[in-house]
Structure 1
Amino acid sequence: MPPPPSKTPKRTRRDGAQARFAGGKRPRPGGRGGPRRDTGADGPHWLYGLHAVEAALRNDRREVHRALATPNAAKKLEDSLAARDLKIETVAPKHLDKLLGPDQVHQGIAIEVAPLPALDLGDLPDCSVVLILDQVTDPHNVGALLRSAAAFGAGALIMQERHSAPLNATLAKTASGALDLVPVILVRNLAQAMEALKERGYWLVGFAEEGADALETTAPRHPLGIVLGAEGRGLRELTRKTCDQLCRITTRDSLASLNVSNAGAIALHWAASQAETKS
């Protein structure tokens, strides 16, 4: 059975409102050194599942160390694997079960990868919509939100370094490849990052059950930042105050709230459809 990836020393990050991308452009040189928290993906780790692996293989910023696959899975991703000039280690499904855990749906393939490179908030690409998460810690929710962000054309996902979901294999599998498609920026101070976005012209809309404006009667302004909070607690007070507007998604009384990933998908579709209507 192939051994799990070895641990590597933690790297450093830059201070202030600077951040780490999981996607996007290459980092700018320079910047002051400072401690960076462990996100669960600071060293080599395994990505698995056909969509997640294919997206990682096609991402030229993603460093890939090893590839383990069943013959059938290797055949399905033959072109992407060949482009990497990787030596495929042929394994049986049970070997991947032992490596990744019996409950992981690996679809016959896993690759050992390095974390994606770090970038600053200033490297945010020009885009009309960004998704901002306030202490959403469930990797399944964040993965699903990344998938929706990719589907509806959001340019980046921004969340706080602390009290956020780790950028690990669970998140990558749920994101179905979107972790290697949508830039993920981790910031030290979310409110400061939101203020920086407002200085760049972004209109920040927070979503809360008690929001003054109903989403279906609201026209978004672009560039737009969609701000979502953790389930249960929702948006923190300072995050609410930093938003330009608070909206609510109208639901029936019998089901007053939505899962954050569902709310995010609705909000992203709203932003995308309104933009298409105006264009």
Structure 2
Amino acid sequence: MLLYGRNPVLEALKDGRVTELLVARGVEEAFVQELKTFDVRLKFSPRIELDQIAGTTGHQGVIAEVEDLAWASVDDILDRAEARGEDLLVVLLDGVTDPRNFGAIIRSAEVLGAHGVVVEERRSAPLSPVVAKTAAGATSYLPVAQTKNLPRLIDQLKEAGVWVYGAAGEAAQDVGRTDLSGKVALVIGAEGEGLRRLVREKCDGLVRIPTRGQVQSLNASVAAGILLYEAARARGPR
């Protein structure tokens, strides 16, 4: 798989997943020297060649050939929380198919202390270079898992003592007044469609983010970031 962008590439290098680097001629020497600290072959090419390979000019002068990103398991996420001695905080995505939203949610989840992200197999964007680029390296640290049936997983989490809250703009409950300090799963739906009916019904509660403007809805990744911040705040300093 090809990965581009400086932060994602550097994190993949630290993780030992890079087999070769393609670097644009003319990038600053300090960055080249940083790349040379890793035991990976560098190939220098004109920037236009990198544009063509990446299909974008947003590669920041470096493209890496890496091992494909691998899906974790839900058990990996549960084990991560247990190993840290922390109450579980997990993000469940219901139909988020935009790769940039997916990547941004992974990034926010890692930054704000979640233990993982779970998607339903047939209702998600794949783990692609665009997801990895938008996640800015977070895919190297945060388990991202698939489940065959999200409503069934919600039932299993609830049986394990996890409180499940779904984001819904029309919900009566303000997320800022919701106790997110224990074992919590936050469910984010697709933009436009929101949560599926069965997923909504499985949640312990639906929460909304108060808005003041004329536009009444938020981008899925922004909504996820706000809910994750509220959960992180409820848990106190690390």
- What is the TM-score when the length of structure 2 is the normalising length? 0.89
For residues 99-139 of structure 1, give each alpha carbon's deviation from its aligned partner in whole angstroms, at most 9, with x where no partner exists.
112x3311110101121334432222115311111010001
The reply to whether residue 145 of structure 1 matches residue 94 of structure 2 is no
Q: Tell whether the 8 Å contact from 1:57 to 1:81 is kept in structure 2 after alignment.
A: no
Conserved 8 A contact 1:203-1:221: no
Quote the residue 1:47 is aligned against: 3
Give, in whole Å, the separation in 1 of the partners of 2:146 and 2:32. Answer: 31
Q: Unaligned regions of 5+ residues in structure 1, if any?
A: 1-44
| Equivalent position to 2:148, from 175, 182, 188 | 188
The answer to whether 1:110 aligns with 2:63 is: yes
CA distance in 1, matches of 2:204, 2:32: 45
Shift of 1:253: 6.0
Equivalent residue for 1:35? none
For 1:193 and 1:266, the matched residues in 2 are separated by: 23
Change (3 A) 1:164 1:104: farther
Determine what percentage of the aligned residue pairs are the same residue: 37
Higher mean alpha-carbon deviation, 151-160 vs 198-207, is at 198-207
Q: Note the alpha carbon deviations across 1:221-266, whole angstroms, 9 max, x for none.
A: 4111111100111000111111111111111262211111111111
Per the normalisation by structure 1, the TM-score is 0.76
Q: CA RMSD in A?
A: 2.0
Q: What CA distance in whole angstroms lies between the structure 2 residues aligned with 1:69 and 1:139?
A: 25
Whole-angstrom distance in 1 between the partners of 2:89 and 2:227: 11
Give the match's secondary structure for 1:166.
Answer: coil
Superposed counterparts of 1:63-78, under 5 Å: 63-70=17-24, 72=27, 75-76=30-31, 78=33
2:43 to 70, 89, 95: 89
Deviation sequence 1:154-185 (CA, Å, 0-9, x none): 11011111121121111111111112222111
Question: Cα distance 1:122–1:254, how it changes in 2: closer, same or farther (>3 A)?
Answer: same
- Cα 1:253–1:53, aligned 2, differ >3 Å: closer, same or farther? closer
* Paired amino acid for 1:52: P
Measured against aligned partners, the alpha-carbon deviations of 1:34-76 in whole angstroms (never above 9, x if no partner) come to xxxxxxxxxxx1100101101111124xx32221113636742
- The 1:77–1:136 alpha-carbon spacing in structure 2 relative to 1, beyond 3 Å, is farther
Q: Which amino acid aligns with 1:49?
A: G
Contact 1:47 1:169 (C-alpha < 8 Å) held by counterparts? yes
Aligned to 1:98, the other structure's residue is in SS state helix
Match of 1:24 in 2: none
Alpha-carbon distance change, 73 to 143 in structure 1, aligned in 2, over 3 angstroms: farther
Residue identity in the other structure for 1:197: L
Which segments of 5 or more consecutive residues in structure 2 lack a partner in the other structure? none
| Counterpart-to-counterpart distance in 1, 2:32 and 2:205 | 45
The separation in 1 between residues aligned to 2:118 and 2:225, in whole angstroms, is 16
The residue number in structure 2 matching 1:33 is: none
Change (3 A) 1:190 1:74: farther
Aligned pair count reads: 230
Alpha-carbon distance in structure 2 between the residues aligned to 1:253 and 1:96: 41
Give the SS at the match of 2:180.
coil
